[in-house]
């Protein structure tokens, strides 16, 4: 409060009302300007948020169902303007001029400047868009939006006008593909007219992988689009009163789902896309395809070795395209022969996978620019596309293409409605729910349960003549149906078949007699005329497949592609393989199976004793150490050394002490010399330390035949395992667990875990084999000495010098991983990483030397104990045979007098083994003479 008589501001007491009214508008204008500026900045933030989500979506694939195009470079630069907007928002409250300058400069440079530069660069594309709009090709085009916001249509026009250059796969129609660029190419294909509906679907997968490979090639800087061939008259489409030619894929499949793997376009849309821009009357306009190739096999066949190759040759058959007076080729072209012509036609002999065409397309195809003279489309057509094979059949991209082949919604709805009305089946109860975007779906075996019915595909019309032995009679088919219904405790059956109504009624009668099934419990899908006119024969087949694919158990027909497609659908849905890969047996096949069972029953050997322990482990282990030592000088070395020193290529052992066997062995050696083979004659008793007979005894009779193999799981030498622990300074008793990080791997753990390092090195990992170059390359990083690291890196490379060094230092020197660690002291790899790199210790296989008729409860194997000195003066031992020897020596020290039977010592112990069958068989009649070597 001011004192009386002191100075005070004029107007502050309210007396200067006129002055206050004079300056008030300036303050009100400032407040309004700041409010508008805040609105603009908030709008800027909102747009920046959408652009950020756009970029984040592309890099993380969080919302692939939105089909957001790949972000452009200008979007990343434009995001920097958000930082300047933050400065502008902070400067408003207190009128900070410095921050306001940063706001205006950043907005102009990073915001407006980036957009203006982008518009200038894409002017040619904008003119093309305007031209196509003027020609009424984009009248049906939906408003260009970003995340569904119409306010951003201008942004979408600028950013997405060049969508065809993006790697993002989008559905391509006559409208969405109108804005084509100079780097857009189309691949057309056709199949042999005799092929059916389901094999044509299989050929689509091959061509889809061709397009996918072309788009992945870095050298192919272009946008490849697959043109879907219209469906024509097929053999199994019996409704001749319905349209059977020039049918779109959208009648049967979800085009949007196909486009999630590769960009596709319907053939009709492809024609309208180009003919409408060249003439107002599309019926008279023609487009020219520069290249048309008919694929064919090589006339001389595959030859001795299969190899991929391509060669332009003379046509093996009369071509379906003819050259007319105007020097253009005309042909079938799916029935559009009056609207399409080809500039060049040749026959291309192809052998190999579909990717053999990739390099041919990239390197040998050139495109001439003469659009002013004629309507030339940058396209290429392959006729008889079934000639080339699948690339990586059953692999990752094969299944991606197959999963993309979702059926049309109207067909799926019809199939689901039938399941609900007649089969008590729904996706929720059957655990077969599929999400719309197949790229986000991961299903595994046993996840699907299926509806309470059996699905059967019974093909009869053409198979009765083509494959009579594999098509069951109606009575036998009904018998198989009843068997599976009783086994699975089900009562409903759905049959997809091409049989007529009379045959279906006969099948129902047989089923009613055999398994007391009423006629209304065997169903077939028979749509009325109105529905059939809408979905056509192909749609009915898909509904049949859809219903069969959701069954609890499926039985198909022999080598039918119709059944194959159902089995693939069931794989995608997540059914067990046992409930999917089954087929109906023909009458002759059943007789054959019964005959084989009868033969086996009468020829089988009776079991001598009933096993009380089913574990296939060795109850008693014993080593036959030879016998009484033979007379004469003993040769302490190996018979292999003797063969090397005497330059012999063959050895003949004799086992009798009477002299007859030795004399006969000498005669065999002389006969071998006549054929240029030098042979040595040896007494096995002289090499008792090297040739041993191991007897693996059981408490019960084990089934095996002469010539079978026994697989033994050995263990590494304990001294070798301890040496690894010493070299790496690791506690071998530490408990570890190795987890497989690959989600698609069949095994979660590489070996049984958790376990100790000692257990892993002893029983699971191979320590004696020579490591490959990949292991050397991986462990080179752990060598602290530069010379050691250089040596390992060199041997791990693919250079010629590295291969030579690897041969000399590893292979010729017989160095194992333990020897490498000893010779390179600076190499200290982590033991857990080493466990990941080392190969598994595989079982050792030995031919069984005994006869099951004489030794039903034991197996005899004859083996040479591997024990030699390497060039590095180390002793190398065989894993399995020395495992037997060590066990024998250990128990020999304890003593085995209480177990002696003659000269054989029984040693208690356990080793895991298994029997492996062999193709070797003795003659059925024992009178048949044989020569055993």
As annotated, the active-site residues are: 195
Contact 138, 175 (CB under 8 A): yes
Q: Which residues pair with 650 in a beta bridge?
A: 679
Q: Could you tell me if 812 and 831 are in contact, meaning their C-beta atoms sit under 8 angstroms apart? A: no
The conformational region for residue 895 under phi > 0 = left, psi -120 to 50 = alpha, else beta, is: left
Backbone angles phi, psi at 618, to 5 degrees: -75, 125
> What is the rounded distance in angstroms from the CA atom of residue 175 to the CA atom of residue 920?
67
Residue appearing with tokens 């020097």: 327
CA distance 484 to 553: 9
The secondary structure of 104-136 as a DSSP string is HHHIIIIIIHHHHHHHHHTHHHHHHHHHHHHTT
DSSP string over 792-819? HHHHTS-SHHHHHHHIIIIITTT--HHH
Look at the block and give the residue holding tokens 């698609």.
744
461: number of CA atoms within 13 Å, CB side? 10
> Would strands 709-712 and 913-916 be described as parallel, antiparallel, or unpaired?
antiparallel
Residue 570: strand, helix, or coil: helix
Cβ atoms 162, 202 nearer than 8 A: no
Q: How far apart are CA 469 and CA 356, in angstroms?
A: 38
Contact indicator for 731, 725 with CB cutoff of 8 Å: yes
**Each residue of 822-858: b (16+ CB within 10 Å) or e?**
bebeebbbebeebbebbeebebbebebbbebeebbbb
Residue closest to 161 by CA, chosen among 131, 133, 122 = 122
Q: What is the Cα–Cα distance from 347 to 313, expressed in whole angstroms?
A: 6
The verdict on whether omega for the bond into residue 581 sits within 30 degrees of 0, i.e. cis, is no
Q: How far apart are CA 295 and CA 306, in angstroms?
A: 18
Check: CB of residue 544 under 8 Å from CB of residue 414. Answer: no
Closest C-alpha to 187, from 161, 218, 212: 212
What distance in Å separates the CA atoms of residue 476 and residue 479, rounded to the nearest whole number? 5
Distance in angstroms (rounded) separating the CA atoms of residues 149 and 427: 35
Q: In what order do the strands lie in the sheet with 913-916?
A: 844-847, 709-712, 913-916
Decide: 720 and 886 in contact? Cβ < 8 Å.
no
Residues shown for the chain? 933
């Amino acid at each position: 409060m001011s004192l009386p008589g002191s100075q005070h501001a004029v107007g502050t007491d309210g007396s200067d009302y006129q002055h206050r009214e004079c300056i008030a508008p300036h303050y009100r204008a400032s407040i309004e300007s700041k409010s508008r500026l805040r609105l603009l900045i908030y709008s800027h933030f909102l747009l920046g948020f959408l652009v950020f989500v756009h970029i984040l979506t592309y890099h993380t694939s969080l919302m692939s169902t939105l089909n957001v195009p790949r972000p452009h470079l200008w979007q990343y630069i434009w995001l920097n303007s958000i930082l300047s907007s933050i400065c502008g928002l902070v400067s408003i409250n207190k009128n900070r001029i410095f921050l306001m300058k940063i706001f205006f400069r950043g907005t102009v440079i990073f915001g407006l400047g980036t957009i203006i530069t982008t518009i200038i660069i894409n002017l040619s594309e904008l003119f093309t868009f305007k031209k196509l709009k003027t020609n009424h090709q984009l009248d049906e085009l939906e408003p260009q939006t970003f995340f569904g916001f119409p306010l951003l249509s201008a942004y979408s026009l600028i950013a997405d006008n060049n969508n065809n250059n993006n790697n993002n796969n989008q559905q391509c129609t006559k409208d969405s593909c109108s804005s084509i660029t100079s780097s857009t190419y189309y691949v057309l294909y056709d199949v042999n007219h005799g092929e059916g509906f389901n094999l044509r679907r299989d050929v689509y997968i091959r061509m889809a992988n061709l397009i996918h490979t072309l788009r992945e090639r870095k050298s192919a800087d272009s946008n490849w689009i697959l043109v879907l061939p219209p469906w024509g008259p097929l053999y199994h489409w019996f409704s001749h009163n319905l349209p059977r030619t020039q049918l779109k894929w959208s009648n049967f499949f979800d085009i949007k789902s196909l486009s999630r793997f590769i960009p596709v376009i319907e053939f009709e849309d492809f024609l309208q896309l180009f003919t409408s821009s060249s003439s107002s009357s599309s019926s008279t306009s023609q487009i020219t395809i520069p290249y048309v190739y008919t694929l064919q096999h090589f006339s001389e066949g595959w030859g001795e070795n299969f190899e991929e190759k391509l060669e332009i040759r003379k046509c093996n058959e009369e071509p379906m395209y003819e050259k007319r007076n105007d020097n253009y080729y005309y042909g079938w072209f799916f029935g559009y022969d009056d609207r399409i012509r080809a500039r060049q036609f040749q026959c291309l002999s192809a052998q190999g996978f579909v990717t053999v065409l990739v390099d041919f397309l990239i390197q040998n195809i050139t495109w001439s620019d003469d659009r002013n003279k004629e309507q030339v489309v940058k396209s290429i057509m392959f006729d008889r596309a079934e000639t080339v094979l699948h690339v990586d059949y059953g692999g990752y991209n094969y299944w991606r293409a197959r999963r993309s082949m979702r059926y049309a919604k109207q067909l799926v709805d019809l199939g689901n409605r039938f399941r609900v009305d007649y089969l008590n089946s729904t996706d929720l109860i059957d655990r077969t729910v599929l999400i719309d975007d197949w790229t986000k779906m991961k299903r595994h075996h046993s996840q699907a349960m299926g509806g309470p019915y059996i699905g059967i595909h019974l093909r009869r019309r053409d198979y009765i003549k083509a494959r009579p032995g594999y098509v069951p009679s109606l009575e036998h088919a009904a018998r198989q149906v009843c068997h599976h219904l009783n086994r699975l405790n089900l009562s409903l059956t759905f049959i997809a078949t091409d049989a007529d109504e009379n045959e279906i009624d006969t099948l129902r009668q047989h089923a009613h007699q055999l398994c007391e099934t009423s006629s209304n419990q065997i169903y077939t899908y028979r749509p009325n005329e109105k529905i059939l006119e809408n979905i056509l024969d192909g749609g009915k087949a898909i509904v049949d497949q859809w219903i069969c694919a959701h069954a609890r158990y499926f039985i198909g027909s022999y080598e039918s592609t119709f059944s194959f497609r159902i089995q693939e659908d069931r794989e995608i849905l997540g059914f067990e393989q046992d409930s999917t890969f089954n087929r109906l047996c023909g009458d002759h096949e059943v007789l054959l199976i019964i005959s084989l069972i009868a033969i086996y029953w009468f020829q089988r050997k009776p079991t001598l004793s009933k096993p009380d322990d089913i574990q296939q482990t060795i109850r008693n282990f014993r080593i036959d150490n030879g016998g009484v030592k033979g007379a004469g000088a003993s040769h302490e070395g190996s018979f292999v050394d003797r063969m090397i020193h005497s330059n012999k290529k063959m050895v003949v052992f004799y086992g009798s002490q009477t002299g007859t066997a030795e004399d006969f062995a000498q005669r065999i050696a002389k006969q071998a010399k006549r054929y240029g083979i030098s042979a040595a004659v040896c007494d096995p008793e002289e090499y008792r330390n090297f040739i041993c007979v191991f007897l693996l005894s059981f408490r019960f009779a084990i089934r095996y035949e002469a010539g079978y193999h026994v697989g033994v799981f050995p263990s590494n030498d304990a001294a070798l395992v301890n040496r690894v622990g010493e070299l790496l300074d690791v506690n071998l008793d530490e408990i570890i667990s190795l987890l497989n990080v690959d989600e698609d791997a069949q095994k979660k753990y590489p070996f049984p875990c958790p376990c100790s390092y000692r257990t892993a090195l002893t029983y699971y990992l191979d320590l004696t084999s020579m490591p490959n170059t990949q292991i050397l390359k991986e462990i080179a990083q752990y060598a602290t000495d530069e010379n050691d690291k250089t040596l390992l890196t060199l041997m791990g490379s693919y250079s010629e010098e590295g291969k030579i060094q690897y041969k000399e230092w590893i292979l010729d020197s017989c160095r194992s991983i333990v020897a490498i660690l000893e010779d390179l002291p600076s190499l200290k790899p982590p033991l857990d990483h080493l466990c990941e790199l080392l190969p598994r210790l595989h079982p050792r296989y030995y031919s069984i030397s005994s006869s099951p008729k004489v030794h039903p409860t034991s197996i005899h194997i004859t083996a040479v104990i591997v024990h030699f000195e390497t060039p590095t003066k180390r002793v190398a031992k065989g894993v399995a045979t020395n495992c037997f020897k060590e066990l024998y020596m250990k128990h020999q020290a304890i003593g085995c007098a209480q177990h002696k039977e003659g000269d054989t010592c029984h040693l208690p112990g356990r080793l895991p083994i298994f029997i492996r069958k062999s193709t070797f068989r003795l003659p059925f009649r024992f009178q048949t003479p044989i020569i055993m070597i």
